[in-house]
Amino acid sequence: MKVLAVGDIVGEAGLSWFVSRIRALRKETGADFIAVNGENACGTGITGRQAGELLDAGADVITLGNHAFRRQEIFEELEDNPRILRPMNFAPQSPGQGWGEYETRFGTVQVINLIGRCNLDFGPDNPFLMVEKHLKNHPCRLTLVDFHAEATSEKLAMAYHLDGKVSALWGTHTHVQTSDGMVLPNGTGYLTDLGMTGPKYSVLGVEPQQSISMFRGDPRQNFKTAPGPRKLEGAVFTIDEKTGRCTAVQPLRLEEAGGK
């Protein structure tokens, strides 16, 4: 079984690039299941329309992160659509669910969405303790985890914590693809960060000059998605459907032709 995990969709530019490429990419990679992080489809947050476009284009599940609730219109979708997940360790009264089970020709695939606590400016429940308890109550041979976190150490620690208990774990949130794709000793596939899907010439999807201005200390302004060619980043995890163990991790990057 092959799982394609796609890094954070950034703005309408990232959304349209995903929609235009994902069906062909499913064929090219042989992907049997596609997970995409959509929490930045609006820049910050996602709307019901955008979620619908991602699912209609071919995503099997959408995961979110710290901007999950920025757009209140997504609340109803989170309650009604089991294919849109928000981090499981948010407060229990939060709309939506943090995990789901999806039927495939290989059997049930469980997807868990978690958010980290290191350097993120709020206090969700402990993701290590919560996922540990969840897996005891909801074991599943094919389990995938999107850990939306800032610190590379927290992501890697979670991967070792779950090694052999889940099929694959990937990081999102930092929008920069890492080069450490690997299969851990007990069979869990891992990549610290998938990267992002959106403007190639940008700072995490934002116009570079706006980001420079912020770091210079200039008056703040609303961020704008950068123009120009786009990229799609992620990874393909090959999983033995009989054992649930990952056998290979292949980072992925597609770039749109064109200059700045």
- Domains in the chain (CATH in brackets) are 2-255 (3.60.21.10)
pLDDT confidence of residue 122: 65
Residue-level pLDDT at 46: 96
pLDDT tier at 185 (50, 70, 90 boundaries)? very high
pLDDT at 260 over 60: no
Closest CA to 154 of 183, 120, 205, 112: 120
State the pLDDT confidence band at 40, using cuts at 50, 70 and 90: very high
Region 171-200: what's the mean pLDDT? 97
How large is the average pLDDT for residues 35-60? 96
Closest CA to 230 of 9, 11, 6, 17: 17
Encode pLDDT of 188-244 as tens digits.
Answer: 999 999 999 999 999 988 888 989 998 999 988 877 888 889 999 999 999 999 999
Flag whether the pTM goes above 0.85.
yes
Does 117 have pLDDT greater than 70? yes
Under the banding of pLDDT at 50, 70 and 90, the label for residue 47 is very high
Question: For residue 90, what pLDDT is reported?
Answer: 94
Contacts of 77 (CB under 8 A, 6+ apart): 48, 51, 84
Summarize pLDDT for 135-146 with one digit per residue, the tens: 999 999 999 999
Q: Are 198 and 50 within 8 A, CB to CB? A: no
pLDDT value of residue 220:
82
Active site residues: 67
Q: Is 35 helix (H, G, I), strand (E, B) or coil?
A: strand
Which residues make Cβ contacts (< 8 Å) with residue 104, sequence separation at least 6?
A: 1, 32, 33, 142
Lowest mean pLDDT segment, chosen from 14-28, 139-153, 160-174, 196-210: 196-210
Percent of the chain with pLDDT over 70: 98
Cα–Cα dist 14/20, whole Å: 10
